[in-house]
Homo-oligomer: A and B are copies of this chain.
């Protein structure tokens, strides 16, 4: 039913190869002929069959995008940007949601491998070894993690976490908590390392809690534990958890930011809409999506466009040919969920760096539970410095 190259050839009285060239190498065909062919093609509604083309050229003009969880509001802006960038370069995007299920992920990549020219992998929990194996099957670009030998685009959450901690200590907080994310996440490790370092540099203590599921529920569930640490400020693995935490703190009778400050990471759209509005570390998700497709596509020659967008980029490696790592800067956006710490309101006896009684700093309504913190605030765990 749909017109093929042969129909066009017949209609315009030339050989199919001429029609083919009209589309894929226009300079090789006489302008007059070309116009005639073009006219016929237009008239017949002809579009080259990409599958057939792929069969012979080996290039499908498709990109796979594997996402851990589409419904996580962190991802849609990334997807959107990747799709847009891809389309602009005449590529289409296959999308796949793995539901964080490693088995599904492997199947997926295999199934996709033949149909795409490359895959963008955005799946924090997948094992490194599997990724390496996969990368032998199809060009891969990983997002928000680092795998030796593979091109990657990461967001510099370490820097962001440092900024956040500095912001907090600057406000006078000495007892910090870090609401950790899922085990095995590169981002999580990065945040933890940077946060502990920054806390130590500011002579503040930092309790790290986790691992936790990176969801609103994960935040809600940890509210009680956070309170027990006695921290007056907490940095969460992502905005979703931060928001859940605020929710949980609220039902414990703790006010944000008066009693406790909360900062998230990601700056998802939602964070502007909570009350109080969430202070958070903005990650350039859209830029990451664009950059990732650029990296994938620059590898295969075809596209000559030089990657030049997404400001604030720091190329960490040689731009030669392979395994570039692009790190995108983050920034702290201060809204209403952070406020001055206890040290600012009164210069109490006892140096700030030592652990006080939990809750002593906050004049919160008592709340239903009155337990003292079991072990007091623990010091930062410095052993995680090695990547």
Q: Within the oligomer, what is the number of copies of this chain?
A: 2
| CB of A169, distance to nearest CB on chain B (Å) | 28
A54 within 8 Å of B by Cβ?
yes
Q: Given A70-B79, A216-B273: A51 and B114 within 8 A (CB)?
A: yes
User: In this complex, what residue of B is CB-closest to A64?
Assistant: B92
Cβ–Cβ contact A76 & B70, under 8 A = yes
Per the 8 Å Cβ criterion, residues 260-277 of A in contact with B are 269-270, 273-275
User: In this complex, what residue of B is CB-closest to A94?
Assistant: B92
A28 within 8 Å of B by Cβ?
no
Partner of A79, one of B95, B110, B216, B247: B95
Cβ–Cβ contact A47 & B243, under 8 A = no
Task: Report Cα–Cα, A87/B101, bound state, in Å.
Answer: 14
As a 0/1 sequence over residues 71 to 85 of chain A, the CB contacts with chain B under 8 angstroms (1 = contact) are: 101011101100110
Partner of A83, one of B49, B97, B111: B97
Task: Report Cα–Cα, A269/B62, bound state, in Å.
Answer: 31
A10 within 8 Å of B by Cβ?
no
Task: Report Cα–Cα, A76/B78, bound state, in Å.
Answer: 12
Cβ–Cβ contact A94 & B97, under 8 A = no
A146 within 8 Å of B by Cβ?
no
Partner of A80, one of B55, B70, B270: B70
| CB of A317, distance to nearest CB on chain B (Å) | 26
| CB of A137, distance to nearest CB on chain B (Å) | 8
A89 within 8 Å of B by Cβ?
no
Q: How many residues of A are counted as interface, with CB atoms below 8 angstroms from the partner's CB atoms? A: 45
A50 within 8 Å of B by Cβ?
yes
A150 within 8 Å of B by Cβ?
no
Q: Given A47-B111, A80-B70, A274-B273: A95 and B97 within 8 A (CB)?
A: no
User: In this complex, what residue of B is CB-closest to A110?
Assistant: B47
Question: Which residues in B have their C-beta under 8 angstroms from that of A113?
Answer: 2, 47
Q: Given A51-B114, A94-B92, A243-B273: A84 and B71 within 8 A (CB)?
A: no
A93 within 8 Å of B by Cβ?
yes
Question: Which residues in B have their C-beta under 8 angstroms from that of A75?
Answer: 76
Question: Which residues in B have their C-beta under 8 angstroms from that of A95?
Answer: 79, 83, 93-95
Cβ–Cβ contact A70 & B51, under 8 A = no
Question: Which residues in B have their C-beta under 8 angstroms from that of A87?
Answer: 96, 108
| CB of A68, distance to nearest CB on chain B (Å) | 11
Cβ–Cβ contact B70 & A92, under 8 A = no
Task: Report Cα–Cα, A80/B71, bound state, in Å.
Answer: 7
A322 within 8 Å of B by Cβ?
no
User: In this complex, what residue of B is CB-closest to A75?
Assistant: B76
Pairs A-B, 7 closest by C-beta atoms: A95-B95, A51-B51, A70-B80, A275-B275, A51-B54, A71-B76, A70-B76
Given A71-B76, A79-B97, 16 more contacts at CB 8 Å? A47-B113, A50-B115, A51-B52, A51-B115, A52-B55, A55-B55, A70-B76, A70-B83, A71-B80, A73-B73, A75-B76, A83-B97, A92-B111, A93-B96, A94-B94, A247-B273
